[in-house]
Structure 1
Amino acid sequence: MSPLPVRPPHQEGTPIVSSSPSSLSSPSSARTSASLHLAVALDGAGWHPAAWRDPAARPRDLFTAGYWADLVAEAERGLLDFVTIEDSLGLQSSHLLEPDGRTDQVRGRLDAVLIAARVAPLTRHIGLVPTVVATHTEPFHLSKAIATLDYVSAGRAGLRVQATRRPNEAAHFGRRALPRFELRDLHSPPVRELTAGLLDEAADYVEVVRRLWDSWEDDAEIRDVATGRFVDRDKLHYIDFEGKHFSVKGPSITPRPPQGQPLVSALAHEEATGAPFRFVARSADVGYVTPHDIAQARAVVAAVRAEQDAAGRAEEPLHLFGDLVVFLDDDPTAAQARRERLDAFAGDPYTSDARIFTGTPAQLADLLLEFQQAGLSGFRLRPAVLGHDLHAITRGLVPELQRRGVFRSSYEADTLRGLLGLARPANRYSPELSASIERGAPLSA
């Protein structure tokens, strides 16, 4: 294999969970598709906390539009399905619950939705999935922002929904206080109850967003100059959502997005309560999971599918992507040496919620195909150093998967839903669908 290119164009957050609707060619094909889907998670200089000190990093460019445009252009060059863009309501921190005060790691970030909107006109095919925090923000504002992104990108928008239990982030808003607890309390009944409550709130948040996207029928805009009618008011609908956490009347002030329903995704860690899996099963089109071996992957997939069935979504598509942090080089010893060098800069061995892979693109391809047998339909890779490992993915891993006949050789759809085999859903408020519901047909998300 020729050396992997490393070009100058070029931390891990700790949310509880990060979080579209349509159908595949058949309801179960999201579970059995032979072709692999790939996404990358973009975060600062990379997922290793010392990534900014790698020679391939561009720390002086982190807060420039060109930096993010270069990253997404490289991901699109590799024919990836989409990129996710990390965000949070607090500074990055290696501490799970509170800022750690360190000044030797990347701190500060740009707004993920605005990054995606800036990059959208510069790309043509790749999906753009910014992270949004549901816990302290308003679903009405978010629905409008993602609908706008879907227009700007011509149907390539999504979102990754996150919930947060960090007290310091709640203090930014002053609307409520979240209890402080120690790491040793993470699996205690009070913290589990808190987590489940925040994820129930996030599920309501997603439901409001989805209803607002549907609150304009597709042909609500008439734009008839002769009659002076721009919009058909009868095709705008109040959503009248009343729940424990939100009361939203609607309709939206943005017409229905080009995809109808942009992609909704979430990160679901394994947890004793099952709340993250339940949230993904109830609310998402793509769930990111973090198994560390094939047995755990099978168990996680089975658990999410059981929750999906319990939520009444058994016939709806739900992609499950495995998350992995990757250190990639032609020589596995070089990848290991690079990881050790970064660990030395950071002062501690790097750990992650996801499996950490250190090796060659061919070895990673072997692992992905093994994990796929557990029922995963794709993978979201977290490059340890974006300036190095993103290129290793697009120019090393992708060609390897193409040689094995499991990854596309060109983009075959114009929208993000299309890339994932998801049909554009009918509007829940359209007369045709309303009549279908009255006849007893189920309402898909």
Structure 2
Amino acid sequence: MSKRLITAIEIDGAGGHPAAWRGVEVDPAAILTGELALRAVQRAEAAGIDIATFADALEAPADDPERVSVRLDALGLAARIAPSTKSIGLLPTITVTHTEPFHVQASVATLDYVSQGRGGWIAEVSSSAEAAAVIGRREPAPAADTWREARYVVDVSRRLWDSWEDDAIIRDAATGRFVDRDRIHYVDYESPNFSIKGPSIVPRPPQGHPITAVLVNTPEALEAAADAELVLLPGIAELGDRVAAVRAAAERSSGASPRVLVSVSVLLDDDAAAAARRAEGVPAAGADGAAPGGPSVGGDFDFVGGVERLAELISDWAEAGVDGVHLRPASLEVDVPVIAERLIPLLRAKKLVGPAVDRATTLRNRLGLRRPDNRYAVGSER
């Protein structure tokens, strides 16, 4: 197969397993210093994985003594990790429903600068009363309304990123001219939910537009996927049909063709991973790849089993039309080394993924996406 799949990995606490933080190999304090996440991202980068995503939500984690009841801010964590990596893309989740669009875009642009062109974001929404109560700015809204607003946020973010032309900064100390004000533009944006005059307080990011991703886990999110460069599809049921639906929605709305990744929660259970889990008292997988005992494993996973079987499934998913795979590991300390040291080389041997990138490059370049023209620049066709 000549198609090179995009590979991504999720960072969420100590991992997707609710007891991951209790493993003998985990220092719980490292979760809150960011060291656990940094180690996982560096392992992924060394293996050649393209993207690290960072989970987040406005709602506070459940106050359960068996689980980690705090979470680092995804954007702050990505910014913490950026200077200690050089090639992997960094996409934190940002909930736009209760946050100010102007500050959201400025934060994402800043991440793109800190990472030297490897930044982006996963635009998320919230309809919960709990999140509304935490922020205290407005009442919760239906999902359709929040996703409609999210599309406006994505649109104005791109306009604000364009509000500085690439050559707007002069930095001529001799003449005292540091910016060319004729190359900085007001966006004068009006939507049903907000208005922004602009321009941005951050110059145009290295990528022009940092990568925008959307997780399509509801029907309401499907239309918003048309505005994204990267779409994450959680779960493996009816995958081919859902990929086709995303592509049809994008074509209908904007004629765009986003990269579509299947997003899979995985609990790897062979060799070292199995031994580590036995030490934690977590049962091994059954012969059919299903988790025995259901809740005893601590939650539902899309895949439980060995890397050889997972590699076969990834090949099947590629045949179903996905552009890549987004792995959500049960444990950062147990599963990420197995993904990095065994799964990725196996996929490379099958020619499903390309060689590891050992040089600095922008995420857009890595994904084969062109740098957008500035819509406000003289002579722009946008």
TM-score (norm. length: structure 1): 0.79
- 2:181 & 2:344 partners in 1: Cα distance? 48
Amino acid at match of 1:40: I
Check whether the contact 1:57–1:388 (CA below 8 A) recurs between aligned residues: no
Check whether the contact 1:322–1:378 (CA below 8 A) recurs between aligned residues: yes
- 1:56 & 1:417 partners in 2: Cα distance? 35
State the partner residue of 2:232: 288
Matches for 1:9-408 after TM superposition, within 5 Å: 34-93=3-62, 101-178=63-140, 194-269=142-217, 271=218, 274-281=219-226, 283-293=227-237, 296-312=238-254, 314=255, 316-330=256-270, 334=274, 340=283, 350-352=298-300, 356-408=302-354
Amino acid at match of 1:307: A
CA shift at 1:291, angstroms? 3.9
Aligned residues: percent identity? 41
- 1:428 & 1:79 partners in 2: Cα distance? 34
State the partner residue of 1:426: 373
Shift of the 339–209 alpha-carbon distance from structure 1 to 2, 3 Å rule, reads farther
TM-score (norm. length: structure 2): 0.91
Q: Report the RMSD for the aligned CA atoms in angstroms.
A: 2.4
Check whether the contact 1:413–1:419 (CA below 8 A) recurs between aligned residues: no
What SS does the corresponding residue of 1:63 show, helix, strand or coil?
helix
- 1:112 & 1:170 partners in 2: Cα distance? 19
What does the per-residue CA deviation read over 1:21-75, in whole Å, with 9 as the maximum and x for residues that have no partner?
xxxxxxxxxxx97001110000001101121122333323111132232121111
**TM superposition outliers: structure 1 runs of 4+ over 4 Å:** 335-339, 341-352
CA shift at 1:268, angstroms? 0.4
CA shift at 1:162, angstroms? 0.9
CA shift at 1:350, angstroms? 4.3
Greater alpha carbon shift after TM alignment, 390-399 vs 167-176: 167-176
- 2:22 & 2:174 partners in 1: Cα distance? 62
CA shift at 1:112, angstroms? 1.3
Check whether the contact 2:235–2:302 (CA below 8 A) recurs between aligned residues: no
State the partner residue of 1:409: 355
**Which one has more relative contact order, counting CA pairs under 8 Å at least 6 apart?**
1
Amino acid at match of 2:379: E
State how many pairs are aligned.
373
Amino acid at match of 1:399: P
CA shift at 1:223, angstroms? 1.5
Q: Which runs of 5+ in 1 are unaligned?
A: 1-31, 94-100, 180-193, 437-442
- 1:406 & 1:341 partners in 2: Cα distance? 28
Q: Which runs of 5+ in 2 are unaligned?
A: 286-290
Check whether the contact 1:277–1:304 (CA below 8 A) recurs between aligned residues: yes
- 1:374 & 1:59 partners in 2: Cα distance? 39
Greater alpha carbon shift after TM alignment, 108-117 vs 341-350: 341-350
- 1:310 & 1:345 partners in 2: Cα distance? 44
